[in-house]
């Protein structure tokens, strides 16, 4: 017996947003969010298993890569590019901008582990690496983020 | 560093994202069921539809979660809340409660009823606004004229109350009889149709 999909959106919409926004600029993240849930919706009557969050994070990760590939864009640090006129939470904006300055592997590991709350074995599945490598990337990423955020505070 | 570093996502943003998902899912015909709720004088009503039309109207007391789970089990789990897509259906209920005798025809999908129950729904649709018939009279109009009890069951399990007017069927002894929305709601609906306005 599968849950009505609306319940999945209500429960995981926030996490999927953090994954999309953690990996993409704001406007692209909105596209990736709706494409992620549309793809999940299409497959929902065939979904097996109970790791819904990891499954959604995997789809979101692929959608984010699709968006980046489609726009054939080199990821430009967002520093100094306000993407909304009045940031609702300045601290968040700093975090997103700082995340954008991490190497791809560190960025993905930090997003999936620290923002989406996936355990490292699932982070490894999503990002196509090993659990050990994911743990190291997240740890290196957090260290680097601390430096970046401290510099911005100064 | 933990997830608490990030403030909870702005509900307005999530609402905007959800609206985009509704539009994309509608374009792609990716939904088994879409639904919304409507505030009415008899409480919040849940309206659920398929591509063909409204398939389920549920009263608040039935419980939104339980109704949606039952729709997932019986029709399909690809269910999304799509208020804008059901604006037309919402207007039908507004008109009905404002005393409109015959609001515009609302497309319906009767797939949740089968066999004799489906036949009874067909006879119910022929009972006009403001009319009252007994369960026995309605049974007499079906292919099983003595199946009064089965007619009662068909009315009690009507997936489309209000739209398919099972509230117009009352007991031969004058009592209003059972109603999914509660007997007091049935009394008020009969009064609405008799007087043109809904008693409090």
- For A82-140, what is each residue's pLDDT tens digit? 444 444 455 666 899 999 999 999 999 999 999 999 999 999 999 999 999 999 999 99
pLDDT score recorded for residue A154:
59
State the pLDDT at residue B92.
96
Q: Is residue B38 part of a domain?
A: yes
Share of chain A above pLDDT 90, in %: 72
- Answer yes or no: is B200 within a domain: no
pLDDT of residue A8: 97
Per-residue pLDDT at B174:
80
Please give the pLDDT value at position A153.
66
Domain C-terminal end among B97, B132, B149: B97
Q: Which of A2, A3, A6 to mutate to test the interface with B (most CBs of B within 10 A)?
A: A6
Count of domains forming chain B? 2
Residues B119 and B93 in one domain: no
Asked whether residue B54 is domain-assigned, the answer is yes
Question: Does residue B107 fall inside a structural domain?
Answer: no
In this prediction, residue A75 has a pLDDT band, given cuts at 50, 70 and 90, of: low
B91 to chain A, any CB pair closer than 8 A? The answer is no
Same domain, residue pair B93 and B137: no
Whether B154 and B76 share a structural domain: no
Indicate whether B3 belongs to any domain: no
Q: Are residues B90 and B55 in the same domain?
A: yes
Could you list the residue range(s) of the whole structural domain that residue B138 is in? 115-195
Do B120 and B92 share a structural domain? no
Give domain status of residue B102, yes or no.
no
**pLDDT-derived band at A80, boundaries 50, 70, 90:** very low
CB-based burial label for A71 (10 Å; 0-12, 13-18, 19+): exposed
Residues 6+ apart with CB under 8 A from A36: A16, A20, A56, A59, A60, A63
Shared domain for B60 and B130, answered yes or no, is no
Decide if B6 and A92 are in contact by the 8 Å CB cutoff.
Answer: yes
Distance CA A143, CA A22 (A): 17
Contact B107, B92 (CB under 8 A): no
The pLDDT value recorded for residue B5 is 61
Q: Closest chain A residue to B4 measured between Cα atoms? A: A115
Minimal C-alpha gap between A142 and chain B (Å): 7
In angstroms, how far is CA B34 from the centroid of its own chain?
13
| DSSP SS3 for B45 | strand
CA atoms of B116 and B122, how far apart (whole Å): 10
As a whole number of angstroms, the distance between CA B149 and CA B171 comes to 11
- Verify that B22 and B84 share a domain, yes or no: yes
d(CA A32, CA A40): 12
Do residue B73 and residue B150 come from a single domain?
no
The answer to whether B6 and A95 have CB atoms below 8 angstroms apart is yes
* List of chain B residues with pLDDT < 50: 1-3
Please check whether residues B167 and B132 belong to one and the same domain: yes
Rounded CA separation B159/A64 (Å) = 42
Q: Is A117 on the interface with B (CB under 8 A)?
A: yes
pLDDT of residue B185: 95
Contact status of A87 with chain B (Cβ, < 8 Å): no
CB contact under 8 A, A13 and B14: yes
The C-alpha of A27 sits at a distance from chain B's nearest C-alpha, in angstroms, of 11
- Of the candidates A4, A37, A146, the beta carbon closest to that of B72 is on A4
The pLDDT assigned to A70 comes to 82
**Could you tell me the domains of chain A?**
5-153 (1.20.140)
3-state secondary structure of A108: helix
Do B75 and B123 lie in a common domain?
A: no
The residue with tokens 């539009």 is B23
Residue B108 lies in a domain: no
Q: What pLDDT is attached to residue B82? A: 97
Domain with residue B86: its CATH number is 3.30.160
**CATH number for B176:** 1.10.10.10
Q: B60, B55, B61: which is closest to B79 by C-alpha? A: B55
Both B82 and B124 in a single domain? no
Whether residue A45 has pLDDT greater than 50: yes
Q: Are B1 and A114 in contact (CB under 8 A)?
A: yes
Last residue of a domain, one of B67, B97, B127: B97
Q: Are strands B54-58 and B45-49 parallel, antiparallel or unpaired?
A: antiparallel
Dist CA A98 CA A22 (whole Å): 10
Residue at B103 is within a domain? no
Q: Over 80: is that where the pLDDT of A78 sits?
A: no
Residues B89, B165: one domain?
A: no
Mutate to test the interface with B, among A1, A2, A5, A91 (most CBs of B within 10 A): A5
Q: Which of B31, B64, B97 corresponds to the end of one domain?
A: B97
Interface touch A117/B3, C-beta < 8 Å: yes
């Amino acid at each position: 017996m599968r849950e009505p999909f609306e319940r999945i959106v209500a429960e995981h919409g926030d996490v999927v947003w953090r994954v999309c926004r953690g990996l993409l600029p704001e406007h692209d993240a909105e596209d990736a969010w709706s494409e992620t849930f549309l793809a999940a919706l299409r497959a929902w009557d065939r979904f097996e298993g109970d790791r819904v969050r990891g499954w959604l994070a995997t789809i979101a990760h692929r959608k984010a890569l699709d968006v980046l590939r489609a726009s054939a864009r080199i990821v430009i640090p967002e520093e100094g590019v306000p993407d909304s006129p009045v940031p609702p939470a300045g601290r968040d904006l700093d975090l997103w901008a700082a995340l954008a300055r991490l190497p791809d592997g560190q960025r993905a590991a930090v997003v999936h582990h620290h923002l989406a709350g996936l355990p490292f074995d699932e982070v490894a599945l999503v990002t196509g690496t090993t659990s050990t490598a994911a743990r190291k990337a997240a740890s290196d990423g957090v260290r680097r983020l601390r430096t970046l955020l401290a510099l911005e505070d100064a | 560093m933990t997830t608490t570093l990030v403030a909870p996502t702005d509900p307005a943003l999530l609402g905007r994202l959800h609206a985009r998902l509704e539009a994309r899912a509608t374009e792609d015909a990716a939904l088994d069921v879409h639904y919304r709720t409507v505030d009415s004088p008899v409480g919040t009503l849940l309206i659920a539809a398929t591509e063909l039309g409204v398939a389920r109207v549920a009263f608040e007391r039935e419980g939104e979660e339980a109704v949606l789970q039952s729709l997932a089990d019986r029709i399909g789990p690809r269910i999304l809340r799509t208020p804008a897509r059901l604006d037309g259906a919402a207007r039908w209920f507004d008109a009905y409660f404002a005393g409109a005798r015959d609001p515009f025809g609302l497309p319906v999908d009767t797939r949740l009823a089968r066999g004799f129950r489906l036949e009874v729904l067909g006879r119910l649709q022929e009972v006009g606004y403001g009319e009252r018939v007994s369960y026995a009279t309605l049974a007499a109009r079906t292919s099983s004229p003595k199946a009064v009890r089965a007619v009662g069951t068909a009315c009690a399990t009507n997936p489309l109350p209000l739209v398919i007017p099972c509230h117009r069927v009352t007991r031969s002894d004058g009592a209003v009889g059972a109603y999914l929305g509660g007997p007091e709601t049935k009394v008020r609906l009969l009064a609405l149709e008799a007087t043109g306005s809904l008693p409090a």
